[in-house]
Structure 1
Amino acid sequence: MSDLSLTILPETVGDAQPIERLHERTFGPGRFVLSAYRLREHVDHVLELSFTARIGTLLVGSVRQLPVCIGDTKALLLGPLTVEPPFRGRGVGRALLDRALGDAKAKGHRLVLLVGDEAYYSRVGFKAVPKGRATMPGPVDYGRLLVAELADGAFTDVSGAIRPDWSMAR
């Protein structure tokens, strides 16, 4: 990103529509059938743990985190992470991930889940959830279910259904 002045800021309420348009452009209408969207139907993402990437005033990326539980263990579900196509491969996604995970850890969160490409997300500490340890609503490719421990051993002995954190329900 040395050739661009990138700013990573916490998402605000006013960012909702521009982020939704970004999601429409990058993921299309099929995004609503994904299992992660089933979890997002009942609980809002956490604004203070969700971030935008801007170059000047131009929104070029976004990442959100949602409160979930794995069985009885509280966690965050990261996603969607999206970057405008012309700005991909320039460190925008990595900057968003670093900020999201760093702030989550600083606020005492211990686990972050996501459904995504292990080759990409392993660079920031995500690894595959062992088969059978966690389930999600709807269809999911369990080979893409990943977890990052923000505290050593945080995923040890954790298992169960991934569900919205109902204490945060709308």
Structure 2
Amino acid sequence: MTALNLTASKRPAAAAAPFAIRAERAADAGAREALLDAAFGPGRFERTCQRLRDGRLPAKGLAFVATCHGSMARSAARVVGTLRLWHINAGGKPALMLGPLAVDPACRSLGIGAALMVHAIAAAERRGDGAVVLLGDAPYYARFGFSAAATGALTLPGPFERDRLLALELREGALADAAGMILPTGAADGWSRSRGRRAVAKAA
């Protein structure tokens, strides 16, 4: 039996991913909010990390969506994933807060969540940001380099589970000696949550 030896020109082409990641657009607001409602339910505005996002804009250039195409999409380029990062002060250190991350349940087997994570982290690193903080499941986020190693002296403005407060240093020592409350520092968004949600619902 001879060994199979395909040249580069004869190798079968890898199947293209049935989704794409791009920067969030204003027109994505309705689809984004629907994804977040489905993922986190009506209580999502009471979550602790939401207190760091209320009245703030996401970090410029660090809000992303995944769009699905091909047989998985019911219409062309349907938004099926969302991820944003936000400017914060992490115990005296400038950093980013990641979240929320949400993916359409029908598309979760495609690796969209992981792709959004990798894309967002790489974008933050290219911009020169020092660290990313999040509140989430350690076993899932460990694959992207997150751990609780640098968050032991940090706290959030509301109830949270200590082992779920995780961080990734994009620059070594970016969170060294970080201690105290995590506070929002992003630009004000200029509209209230209730007025914004009514506008989104009307546009959707």
User: What TM-score comes out, normalization by structure 1 length?
Assistant: 0.92
Q: CA deviation at 1:132?
A: 4.2
Identity in percent: 38
Structure 1 residues 119, 18: closer, same or farther in 2, change over 3 A?
Answer: same
Write the distance in 2 (CA, Å) between the matches of 1:100 and 1:4. Answer: 18
Q: CA deviation at 1:58?
A: 1.2
Q: CA deviation at 1:130?
A: 5.3
Residue 143 of structure 1 is aligned with which of 136, 150, 163?
A: 163
Structure 1 gaps, min length 5: none
Describe how 1:31-110 pairs up with structure 2 within 5 A: 31-56=44-69, 57-110=77-130
Structure 1 residues 41, 73: closer, same or farther in 2, change over 3 A?
Answer: same
Write the distance in 2 (CA, Å) between the matches of 1:45 and 1:103. Answer: 14
Q: CA deviation at 1:47?
A: 4.6
User: What TM-score comes out, normalization by structure 2 length?
Assistant: 0.77
Is contact 1:129-1:145 (8 Å) kept?
no
Q: CA deviation at 1:143?
A: 1.4
Larger Rg: 2
Structure 2 gaps, min length 5: 1-13, 70-76, 190-204
> Across the two proteins, how many residue pairs are aligned to each other?
169
Tell me the alpha carbon deviations over residues 14-45 of structure 1, each in whole angstroms, 9 at most, x when there is no partner. 21121001111111111111100111113211
Q: CA deviation at 1:129?
A: 4.7
Which structure carries more strand by proportion? 1
Write the distance in 2 (CA, Å) between the matches of 1:83 and 1:63. Answer: 9
Write the distance in 1 (CA, Å) between the matches of 2:29 and 2:15. Answer: 28
> Residue 188 of structure 2 corresponds to which residue in structure 1?
169
Aligned-residue RMSD, C-alpha: 1.8
> Residue 26 of structure 1 corresponds to which residue in structure 2?
39
